Structure 1
Amino acid sequence: MTDTVLDRFLRYVVIDTQSNAASSSQPSTDKQKNLGRLLVDELAALGLEDAHLDEHGNVYATVPGNVEKSVPVICLCSHMDTAPDFSGKDVKPQVVRAYAGGDIPLVGDPSRVIRVAEHPDLEQQIGHDIVTTDGTTLLGADDKAGIAEIISAAQYLLENPQIKHGAVKLLFTTDEEIGRGADKVDLAKLGARFGYTLDGGRIGDVENETFSADAVTIDITGVAMHPGTAKGRMENAIKIAADIVSRLPKDITPETTEGKVGFIHPTGITGAMEGAQIKLIIRDFADEGLAEKQALLRSLTESVLSEYPGSSFTFTVVQQYRNMKVVLDQHPEVMDNLIEAVKRVGLTPVQHSIRGGTDGSRLSFMGLPCPNIFTGGHAYHSPLEWISVQDMETTVRTIVELVKVWEQRAPEN
């Protein structure tokens, strides 16, 4: 196989793999397995004899080590699904060769333009080949770029046996975009000691910290009554729900916060006169901050319901993920080796905190310490998504250097 990282990427993005939070199955959409089966075939063609797709849609494979000394087994992970935020069907990628600067119009929807003023990173991409969509779908660089980069690096290692390395496990998951990517991962079968997700953005950016996250559901039971005889008796659950949302503090919302500031964010509201439901997410980098926001939301709900004596509510909290830095700080070699690899390809590592989560968040707390590595993608989850081919190639080189660092720093037997 002589495919480049671009060849792979273009092949993967045209496969519709959007996940669906409304589904209770794993994977949430069976079409994710279409990409999984293709990946298994490609990995098998490279000579990875254990490549397989499990019943949950996850793909496993191993690049065997080629040294006698004991090198910690590491895992490289990316997810196959794309976000439900925007259409991922019938993706039509376009490649802008030798980008000369300026705004990039998207041919499928003239109203959509990737503007330098809104995407200043384009100023660093002169001469690069830029991949975009036609403007009618998202691209899927999140995270099919990561998949293409991992498999390209695996092929390079296999074709260059003079590069000494330990065993490298490959893992491609489903349903990451809806928070279930690690739910059905079998870590015992995977057999890795440390991991890295390839799910980041700008090259050079490495991430060892995420939000801690909870989901909250508030179910409201009102008092239904015929509107003609409702005076003094009706308690409309829709209005109660609206009142709760309207009282959320304006300074702890996604649209008013950045950096290390968390938020409370309503994601859905449904209902009728007799009953309504509000779904929210709470985010903070510290568990204490998460608990404070949860208490604030509960107190606000109780205050609103005190004005409706005939109505009641239930307040349900589901833990989603926790800040992976808590785990990674106990294993400094994981980040140290990554930072060394980034330097070796000529980049200056920049450590960032993710205002979100990755599979690495869950995997870290499941026992696989797992920071996040850049893929080169930009403007994820939107029709303005774009990525540089040269940045993808840099990521491939970074993966190869990372594998080499782990071997070189492992003690001799």
Structure 2
Amino acid sequence: MINKDRILNLFLDLVKIDSPSLKEKNVSKYLCSLMKEKGYEVTQDSAGDACDGNTGNVFVRIPGTGGNPIGFSAHMDCVYPCCGVVPVIKDDIVYSSGDTVLGGDDKAGLAMMIEAVQHLKEENIPHPDIYLMFSICEESGMHGAKNMDLTLFPVKEVVVLDSGGAVGTIVIEAPAKAGIDITFIGKSAHAGIAPESGISAIQMAAEAISYMKLLRIDKKTTANLGRIEGGGATNIVTDKVSLSAEIRSTNDQTLQELIDHMKKCCADATVKFGGDYNFEYEISYPALHVDKNSPLLARIEQSCKNIGLEPKQVSTGGGSDSNILYGKGYSALTLGIGMSKVHTLEEFIEIKSLTSCAELVTEIMKS
């Protein structure tokens, strides 16, 4: 039986450890020490070196009794403000004190995996080799998963514990994301004496934006401008404006078409006003598509039913380490773990979600 007090205390200990992206060393040390004390093989990679972080991903191997190995993953970092978390329990729900996020995203996932492994051991339940990955820098661009040492995670199937939604929720589709940086280059001039000799980068940007397809494009595609910077004194025609944008879609063709559309809007604006522009983009992560005949999906759905949960397949507009792992060739999907209002000061998780998801993870881990 899942030990409610143990998983709760572990979760509370974890959220009290500061671990913003790139600075997960303290929680990493805690987890390494904990898992070594339990007698497991613990290793770390050098993923942090690739993104200027202060630690790498942590990998734990739990020897099994037979069957194909399986992997589980959750990330150690949290979004700001996440330092000095003071967890508060009210009516069997864990909140932060209101000054920070709680950090259930994704320390709840870490606690669930560890409790499930402990339960298997206590009850002598047969299971295959199990590999746990505690990843870094998920929130800041999934740099831990992108730079992971694949030799330390020798599995074909990975369950990622990192989504909202009730326990039993299974994310089977998630979009690819393109990050875009645009710079408009005009010509400065005195705005009161000779404005006609200048080229306004602000005017070019406004023209381009006015023709861009933005926000909800279709059911599975979004586009957004997140930042615009430029300008200074009102008596100077602005010669440089920078924009940052993103496009997300589960359809690769639609994603590329929107990138091309956004670029054309920029080109047309510069032709109209006589300036120039620079347009750069990067595919931050690939789309995730779980095949309906996936053995891992079937295994998880059956595990849900075995413990009285109704499995629910969903699509999401957000990315996670699952996208990166899928792109690296793993069969990966993400579970809803009951965390709510993540990335806000109102974040919370029910204690019941901690225990019921740990029970589900235990069921998935079994041979």
CA distance in 1, matches of 2:122, 2:246: 46
2:344 pairs with 357, 375, 382, which one?
A: 382
Match of 1:265 among 224, 238, 242: 224
- Cα-to-partner distance string for 1:191-230 (whole Å, 9 max, x where unaligned): 1121010002221211111012111111221111233433
Q: Does 1:177 align with 2:173?
A: no
Distance apart, 1:360 and its partner CA: 0.6
CA distance in 2, matches of 1:269, 1:399: 43
CA distance in 2, matches of 1:35, 1:53: 13
Q: 1:244 to 1:331 in 2, by over 3 A?
A: same
- After the TM superposition, which parts of structure 1 deviate over 4 Å for at least 4 consecutive aligned residues? none
- Measure the CA separation in 1 of the matches of 2:106 and 2:224: 25
Aligned position for 1:42: 34
> Higher mean Cα deviation, 371-380 or 260-269?
260-269
In the alignment, structure 1 residue 204 sits paired with structure 2 residue 200:
no
Q: Distance in 2 between matches of 1:218 and 1:91?
A: 37
Report the residue type matching 1:139 in the other structure: L
Question: Which residue of 1 is the match for residue 77 of structure 2?
Answer: 81
8 Å CA contact 2:45, 2:148 repeated in 1? no
Size of the aligned set, in residue pairs, is 348
| Equivalent pair of 2:172/2:314 in contact (CA under 8 Å) | yes
What is the correspondence of 1:74-223 to structure 2 with a 5 Å cutoff? 74-84=70-80, 87-96=81-90, 99=91, 129-161=92-124, 163-179=125-141, 180-201=143-164, 202-223=166-187
- C-alpha offsets along residues 100-143 of structure 1, whole Å, 9 cap, x if unaligned? xxxxxxxxxxxxxxxxxxxxxxxxxxxxx101111111111111
Distance 2:209 2:58 in 1: 41
Question: Partner residue of 2:278?
Answer: 314
Residue 318 of structure 2 aligns to a residue whose secondary structure is coil
Structure 1, unaligned runs of 5 or more:
20-28, 100-128, 408-413
- Cα shift at 1:303: 2.2
Does residue 371 (structure 1) correspond to residue 365 (structure 2)? The answer is no
1:47 and 1:257 map into 2 onto residues whose CA distance is: 51
Judge conservation of contact 1:215–1:282 (CA < 8 Å) in 2: yes
- Contact 2:204–2:269 (CA under 8 A) maintained in structure 1: yes
Q: Distance in 2 between matches of 1:95 and 1:240?
A: 52
DSSP 3-state at the match of 2:196: coil
Q: TM-score with structure 2 length normalisation?
A: 0.90
**1:283 matches 2:251:** no
Instruction: Return the offset for 1:330.
Output: 8.4
User: In the TM superposition, what whole-angstrom CA distance separates every residue of 1:60-96 from its partner, at most 9, and x where no partner exists?
Assistant: 11111023xxx22111000111124xx1121111001
CA distance in 2, matches of 1:360, 1:62: 20
Distance 1:241 1:17 in 2: 38
User: Aligned AA for 2:297?
Assistant: M
Could you tell me how far apart the structure 1 residues matched to 2:217 and 2:72 are?
Answer: 32
Q: Would you tell me which structure has more strand in proportion to its own residues?
A: 2
**Which residue pairs with 2:235 in the alignment?**
none
CA shift for structure 1 position 236: 2.2
The one-letter code matched in structure 2 to 1:44 is K
Give me the whole-angstrom Cα distance separating, in 1, the residues matched to 2:361 and 2:170. 13
1:339 alignment partner, SS class = helix
Distance 1:240 1:92 in 2: 48
Q: Which residue of 2 aligns with 1:108?
A: none
1:243/1:91 Cα in 2 relative to 1: closer, same or farther (>3 Å)? farther
Kept in 2, the 8 Å contact 1:331–1:369? The answer is no
The aligned counterpart of 2:53 is none
State the match for 1:58 in structure 2.
57
Provide the C-alpha distance between the structure 2 equivalents of 1:173 and 1:271, rounded to a whole number of angstroms.
36
Whole-angstrom CA distance in 2 between matches of 1:58 and 1:320: 19
User: Is the contact between residue 150 and residue 396 of structure 1 (CA under 8 Å) also seen in structure 2?
Assistant: yes
Q: How many angstroms apart in 1 are the aligned matches of 2:280 and 2:273?
A: 20
Match of 1:14 in 2: 16
Letter in 2 for 1:60: F
- Describe the superposition over 1:210-262 as per-residue Cα deviations: whole angstroms up to 9, x where unpaired: 0121111112211112334332121122342244334433xx41xx578x331
What is the CA deviation profile of residues 148-203 of structure 1, one whole-angstrom value per residue up to 9, with x for unaligned ones? 10111111122222x11100000011111122231211112211121010002221
- Provide the residue aligned with 1:111 in structure 2: none
- Is the CA contact (8 Å cut-off) linking 2:45 and 2:149 kept in structure 1? no
Give the residue type in structure 2 aligned to 1:185.
Answer: M
Identity, % of aligned positions: 28
Structure-2 change in CA distance of 1:378 and 1:257 (3 Å): farther
Please name the residue that 2:204 is paired with.
Answer: 240
- What are structure 2's unaligned runs of at least 5 residues? 49-55, 232-237
Please report how far the alpha carbon of residue 333 of structure 1 lies from its aligned counterpart in structure 2 after TM superposition. 0.1
Q: Distance in 2 between matches of 1:169 and 1:36?
A: 16
TM-score, normalised with respect to structure 1? 0.80
Residues 351-398 of structure 1 show CA distances to partners (whole Å, capped at 9, x for unaligned) of: 011111110111011021110012110111101111011111000110
Kept after mapping to 2: 8 A contact 1:199/1:372: yes
RMSD: 1.8
TM superposition shift of 1:12? 0.9
2:359 paired residue among 397, 404, 412: 397
